[in-house]
Amino acid sequence: MKVLLNAKQIDSALNKLTNRIVADIPEGVEIAVIGIRSRGEIVAQRLAGRLSKKIGSEIPCGTLDITLYRDDLNSPKSGSQPQVRTTEIRFDIDDKIIILVDDVLHTGRSTRAAMDALIDLGRPKAIRLAVLVDRAGREFPIQADYAGYKAVAKPGQLVQVLLKESDDKEQVIVE
Amino acid sequence: MAEKGKTREFKWQRKHLLGLRELTAEEITYLLDTAQGFEEISARAVKKAPPLRGKLVVNLFFEDSTRTRNSFALAANRLSADVVEFTKKDSSVSKGETLLDTARNLEAMGIDIVVIRHNAGGAPTLLSKYINACVVNAGDGFCEHPTQGLLDVFTIRKRKGSLKGLKIAIVGDISHSRVARSDMWAMTKLGAEVTFVGPPTLIPPKVDQLPVKVSYSLDDVIEKVDVINMLRIQFERLGGNPFPSVREYSHYFGLTVERMKRAKPDILVMHPGPINRGLEIESEVADGKNSVILQQVTNGVTVRMATLFLVNQAAAGKPAEIQNG
């Protein structure tokens, strides 16, 4: 196991994301942040807090459960059984720029599922992808618009984001 | 907020939902938790999600039913499954085909899930032994109606937070009620105390072997209960003269405005429908602020979505095998 980012570095990665997103928002367009369960939810909440502060108005934040949109649901090969949790988006996503947030971008399959789930909820003006960690291994033609950190990881290695809200520590590790 | 480190080890293993009697409290809770994730689908603009895309669900109903059949069809549709309706009146069933022949013919069409209602208790279990598809019991004889039991506890949990320690009365024709049985299993497993209430003629004979209390007087229990579930008097099932007159039944066992005055202010009034207004329940009570009767209907679709999803998940993890007997 190797530590890629410590608490301080995670904090500066989040700051980098915040600044890049703010710089990109066109005038007169509303934005909202939506995190993919479960670590993406935490990153999204932190990001929404920072964005709100920086912009000076409350940025809505929601959580998306993508289980029903996964492409491996009915495949007998996936040994584990995903648990369906709740999607909690208490605002209208129509005509907003949605900052879709995940902790790690790897194969791109979660992002594909999340985009399908989002467009069943409405028609956003745009969907932009923000991830704390971007690593190699894409299986779909999907790239992050904003990445806090680019990790080097070999196939078969697992890049994990550990956050104090869910894991009682603050680290990005590779093993 | 994400739950702290809570990755549950639990895995749903049942490719059939035949009854609640055999389910553990953990299984019931898992199904209810899963159902919560499906609630949002019915509330949004596109009332559909893709998990059963390309799957075929058959509604195999040997008994009349409108709401349960529609509720299952709607649940299947919202998960993107295709639904074939197969009812007694318009099928070869009325031409003398046996249950197993009907099921095998359906299976030859490539079905994935059979939702079956049958007047013979045990029919869904029998079916599950002979076909590969998942079997979901939508009511068998006087035995079980598991998804009704699940939607009832889902509704109670939503309003009261938990079933633990709640006092629940189920009132009416217990003898002929599969709803009462499924309710009883689900409610007691989740920690509620259930009392069957009705005239002695409508209480099943071996009730002392069930995990319930019995009362022959609604007036004795009305003040004590947190939830009251009023069963419909099923005239189509009643033989003989179980009570002298409808008026007398209504007088002793009807949920009237007068009786409600003595109930706890936050009592939940439930009914599996369809209601006989003025018989087992007065209109003002059925439409009153304590009534969750219409929420039960909404929650029925939600719980059935979770059921179809989970049995299909259990089947997806297993190779097909037919146990021929």
**pLDDT-wise least confident of B24-33, B131-140, B237-246, B286-295:** B237-246
Q: Is the peptide bond before A38 cis (omega within 30 degrees of 0)?
A: yes
Instruction: Calculate helix-pair angle for B178-189, B25-39, nearest 10 degrees.
Output: 100
Instruction: Note whether B25-144+299-315 and B146-298 share their fold.
Output: yes
Q: Is the peptide bond before A82 cis (omega within 30 degrees of 0)?
A: no
The whole-number average pLDDT for the span B203-227 is 96
Asked if B81 and B56 touch (Cβ cutoff 8 Å), the reply is yes
Cα B203 to chain centroid distance, Å, stands at 20
- Those residues whose C-beta lies under 8 Å from the C-beta of residue A131, and which sit 6 or more positions away, are A101, A102, A103, A104, A105, A144, A146, A147, A148
Ordered DSSP codes for B127-156? HHHH-SSEEEEEEETTTB-HHHHHHHHHHH
Structure-block tokens of residue A132: 């704390």
pLDDT for A74 equals 81
Q: Would you place residue B8 in the very low, low, confident or very high pLDDT band (cuts 50, 70, 90)?
A: low
pLDDT in tens, B304-321: 999 999 999 999 865 444
* Contact list, B11 vs chain A (CB under 8 Å): 80-81
Cβ separation B313–A167 shorter than 8 A: no
Range of the domain at A49: 13-74+84-150
Give the whole-number percent of chain A exceeding pLDDT 70. 98
Please indicate, yes or no, if residue A158 is contained in any of the structural domains.
no
What amino acid is encoded at A86 in this protein?
A: T
Homologous superfamily (CATH) for B146-298: Aspartate/ornithine carbamoyltransferase (3.40.50.1370)
Q: Would you place residue B45 in the very low, low, confident or very high pLDDT band (cuts 50, 70, 90)?
A: confident
Number of domains in chain A: 1
Instruction: Please work out, in degrees rounded to the nearest 5, the angle formed at the alpha carbon of residue A90 by the alpha carbons of A87 and A93.
Output: 90
Nearest CA distance, B50 vs chain A (angstrom): 6
Please indicate, yes or no, if residue A174 is contained in any of the structural domains.
no
| Number of CB atoms found within 10 A of residue A2's CB | 9
| Domain ranges across chain B | 25-144+299-315, 146-298
Nearest to A120 among B5, B48, B318 (CB): B48
B39 membership: H or E segment, kind and range: helix B25-39
Residue A159 has pLDDT above 60, yes or no: yes
Please indicate, yes or no, if residue A48 is contained in any of the structural domains.
yes
Nearest CA in chain A to B320: A76
Specify the DSSP class assigned to residue A37: T
Asked if B293 and B271 touch (Cβ cutoff 8 Å), the reply is yes
| Number of CB atoms found within 10 A of residue A47's CB | 25
CATH code, domain with A60:
3.40.50.2020
Structure-block tokens of residue B25: 């409290």
Q: Is A174 helix (H, G, I), strand (E, B) or coil?
A: strand
Please indicate, yes or no, if residue A171 is contained in any of the structural domains.
no
Cβ separation A87–B36 shorter than 8 A: no
* Interface subset of B 285-324, CB within 8 angstroms of A: 306, 309, 312-313, 316-319
pLDDT for B9 equals 74
pLDDT in tens, A48-69: 999 999 999 999 999 999 999 9
Q: Count chain A–chain B contacts defined by CB atoms under 8 A.
A: 77
pLDDT for A24 equals 94
Q: Would you place residue B10 in the very low, low, confident or very high pLDDT band (cuts 50, 70, 90)?
A: confident
Asked if B12 and B27 touch (Cβ cutoff 8 Å), the reply is yes
Homologous superfamily (CATH) for B25-144+299-315: Aspartate/ornithine carbamoyltransferase (3.40.50.1370)
Model ipTM? 0.89
**pLDDT-wise least confident of B91-95, B267-271, B312-316:** B91-95
Radius of gyration of chain B (CA): 20
